[in-house]
Amino acid sequence: MALPTFWRSRLEDVDDAVHSATRGDVSVLTRSPGSRPVYLVRYGTRSIRRGSANYNSAAGARDSRHYADKPADAPPSLLLIGPVHGQEVENIVGIVNLIHVAEAGVDLRGRAWDRLRQLIDACHLLIVPVGNPDGRARCPYESFVGVSVDEMTRVGQGTRQDGSLYGWPGAKQRHPMVGDVGLLGAYFNDQGINPMHDEFFAPMVSETKALLDLARDEAPDYLLNLHSHGTVPQVLRTAYVPHLHKRIEADFARRLYERYDREGLPSGQPFEPVPDGEELPLPSFNLTSALHHVCGGVSMLYECSQGLVEYVRVSHDDILNLELLLFEEWLAFAVEHPDPRRSYEVR
């Protein structure tokens, strides 16, 4: 299948996007075990004032301003993290097009996104285009539209030495993914680490440490961890975070799904916050959870639809619209609620 010209999901496409940026400030956060750059693109000006304590201690002092504060009129700060699972390429397409909107006001189809561009200009936006470049480099697909779930599973989660699929959640039963490995899945970096399940109190790889350090240093108000799966696009519940943040997450998900419905796109179902660990199996404390605990921001995870043949049928155009509408609604939500550590009116 010939891919549309706007579909830019390769590491080379990320290189082109970041090296072409003139409005955004580009740096390299770290390098992966495979010596690939993990980029950071910054739009807007940092206005945070670091305090005298880390976030955990400031929470103990009952005032987050001991960790970080900002002027009352400061823009919201947001951290967008591109795929830490290398086969979830849809999010690279979304971010490359987002950078193009930030730079030129239009996506790579030539469609204008005036409101999105205005929102970018109203925020301090940090973008990590790819969280796991090693995994992306090993993924042979540029798109999974029309691909079978078994093939995506083989490429994404890998195989045992006998060729059998690890699948989900089997791919999480061995970590690091070493030993009985035939094909190392794109879930993992070149050391076999799945960044979603690193040791967050003692990170095993530089990519995880760099993301946690970035969140700690920048104190973003909102964080969004981008993923993909076969079913409808969804905001997943984040475990082991304050109930208020669960409420904010549910409010944002409802808003996003309403926008998708208006645009004729598939969407998940609104949800209510639930307590963690009331029954077995217990939820995991993953990267999305850990990011909250180093900075106190509202940390969420989004799953885009991949267009797998057995599941939700979406086109390449649909996927790009899902991504850019997500970014527009996320930024708008942050502008309306710019300091969730200090105040938030629950719906």
Q: How far from chain centre, in Å, is Cα 66?
A: 27
Name 106's Cβ contacts closer than 8 Å, sequence gap at least 6.
100, 112, 113
**Per the domain annotation, does 6 fall within a domain?**
no
**Per the domain annotation, does 13 fall within a domain?**
no
C-alpha dihedral sign at 282, 288, 289, 290 = positive
**Per the domain annotation, does 71 fall within a domain?**
yes
**Per the domain annotation, does 3 fall within a domain?**
no
- What is the domain-level CATH number for residue 131? 3.40.630.10
Which tokens hold the place of 184?
């190392």
**Per the domain annotation, does 341 fall within a domain?**
no
Which tokens hold the place of 102?
């930030």
Instruction: Give the pLDDT score at 347.
Output: 61
Return d(Cα 182, Cα 159) in angstroms, integer: 5
Report the relative pairing of strands 222-229 and 77-81 from DSSP bridges: parallel
Per-residue exposure over 38-64, b if at least 16 CB sit within 10 Å of its own CB, e if not: bbbbbbbeeebeebebbbeebbeeeeb
Per-residue exposure over 165-195, b if at least 16 CB sit within 10 Å of its own CB, e if not: bbbeeebbebbbbeeebebbbbbbbbbbbbb
Phi, psi of 285 (to 5 degrees): -90, 100
Return d(Cα 44, Cα 151) in angstroms, integer: 41
Q: What is the DSSP letter of 301?
A: E
Percent of the chain exceeding pLDDT 90 equals 95
- The tens digit of pLDDT for each residue in 47-81 reads 888 889 999 999 999 999 999 998 888 999 999 99
Report how many domains make up the chain.
1
CA 259-84-10 angle, 5° bins: 85
**Per the domain annotation, does 345 fall within a domain?**
no
Instruction: Judge whether residue 346 has pLDDT over 90.
Output: no
What does pLDDT average to over the chain?
Answer: 97
Return d(Cα 318, Cα 136) in angstroms, integer: 22
CA 300-305-311 angle, 5° bins: 135
CB neighbour class for 275 (10 Å; exposed up to 12, middle 13-18, buried from 19)? exposed
* Beta strand segments in 214-324, E: 222-229, 234-236, 298-305
Percent of the chain exceeding pLDDT 70 equals 99
**Per the domain annotation, does 343 fall within a domain?**
no
Q: In which element (H, E) is residue 255 found?
A: helix 243-262
Give the domain range for residue 45.
Answer: 20-275+282-336
Which tokens hold the place of 256?
């996003």
Phi-psi region of 110 (alpha: psi -120 to 50; beta: other; left: phi over 0): left
CA 10-228-312 angle, 5° bins: 115
- The tens digit of pLDDT for each residue in 138-192 reads 999 999 999 999 999 999 999 999 999 999 999 999 999 999 999 999 999 999 9
Residue 276 exposure: Cα atoms within 13 Å on the Cβ side: 14
**Per the domain annotation, does 291 fall within a domain?**
yes
- The tens digit of pLDDT for each residue in 1-48 reads 689 999 999 999 999 999 999 999 999 999 999 999 999 999 999 988
* Average confidence (pLDDT) over 285-289: 98
